[in-house]
Amino acid sequence: MIKVADLELPTFDDVDLSNKKVLLRVDFNSPVERESKKLMDTSRIKAHAPTIKELIEKGNSVVIITHQGRPGDDDFSTLELHRDALSDELGIDVKFVNDIFGPCALDEIKNLRNGEVLMLDNIRLAAEELIEASPDVQSRTYLVRRLAPLFDIYINDAFATAHRSQPSLVGFPLVLPSAAGRLMEKELVALSKIFNIEESPKVFVLGGGKVLDSIRIIENLSKKRIADRILLGGLVAEVFALAKGVNIGDQNKKILDNQGFLPLIPRARKVLLSGAPVEIPVDFIVEGRDGMKENYATNVNGVIKDIGPETINVYSTLLNEAKVVVLRGPMGVIEDERFRIGTLKLMNSALSSDSYTIVGGGHLLSLLQFLNVNKDKLHISTGGGALLLFLAGERLPALDALAQSVKVIRR
Would you list the DSSP string of 32-101?
B-TTT--BS--HHHHHHHHHHHHHHHTT-EEEEE---S-TTSTT---SHHHHHHHHHHHTS--EEES-SS
Q: Which of 3-17, 307-321, 362-376 has the highest mean pLDDT?
A: 307-321
- Read off the pLDDT of each residue in 159-164 and give the average, rounded to a whole number: 90
B/e letters for 93-131, b = 16+ CB within 10 Å, e = fewer, are ebbbbebbbeeebbebbeebeeebbbbbbbbbbbebbee
Q: What is the pLDDT, as a whole number, of residue 410?
A: 59
- Read off the pLDDT of each residue in 30-55 and give the average, rounded to a whole number: 85
**Least confidently predicted of 140-149, 205-214, 262-271, 380-389:** 380-389
pLDDT grade for 35, boundaries at 50, 70 and 90: confident
**Least confidently predicted of 52-56, 196-200, 315-319, 339-343:** 196-200
pLDDT of residue 6 exceeding 90, the answer is no
Q: What is the pLDDT, as a whole number, of residue 96?
A: 96
pLDDT of residue 256 exceeding 90, the answer is yes
Q: What is the pLDDT, as a whole number, of residue 409?
A: 59
Q: What is the pLDDT, as a whole number, of residue 411?
A: 56
Class of domain 2-185+395-409: alpha beta
Domain 196-380 has CATH 3.40.50.1260: yes
Q: What is the pLDDT, as a whole number, of residue 373?
A: 75
pLDDT of residue 251 exceeding 90, the answer is yes
Q: In percent, how much of the chain has pLDDT > 90?
A: 64
Q: What is the pLDDT, as a whole number, of residue 408?
A: 64
DSSP letter string over 208-269?
Answer: SS-HHHHHHHHHHHHHTT--SEEEE-HHHHHHHHHHTT----HHHHHHHHHTT-GGGHHHHH
Mean pLDDT rounded to a whole number for the chain: 90
Nearest to 202 by CA among 342, 375, 322, 59: 322
Q: What is the pLDDT, as a whole number, of residue 389?
A: 82
pLDDT grade for 160, boundaries at 50, 70 and 90: confident
CB neighbour list of residue 43: distance below 8 Å, 6 or more residues apart = 30
pLDDT in tens, 171-200: 999 999 999 999 999 988 888 888 777 788
Domain with CATH 3.40.50.1260 in the chain: 2-185+395-409, 196-380
Long-range contacts of 259-262 (CB under 8 A, 24+ apart): 259/209, 259/211, 259/235, 261/211, 261/235
Torsional class of 380: left (φ above 0), alpha (ψ -120 to 50), beta (otherwise): beta
Q: What is the pLDDT, as a whole number, of residue 115?
A: 94
In this prediction the pTM is 0.80
Nearest to 63 by CA among 104, 103, 94, 27: 94
pLDDT in tens, 363-399: 677 777 788 777 778 888 877 778 878 887 888 999 9
Q: In percent, how much of the chain has pLDDT > 70?
A: 98
pLDDT grade for 30, boundaries at 50, 70 and 90: confident
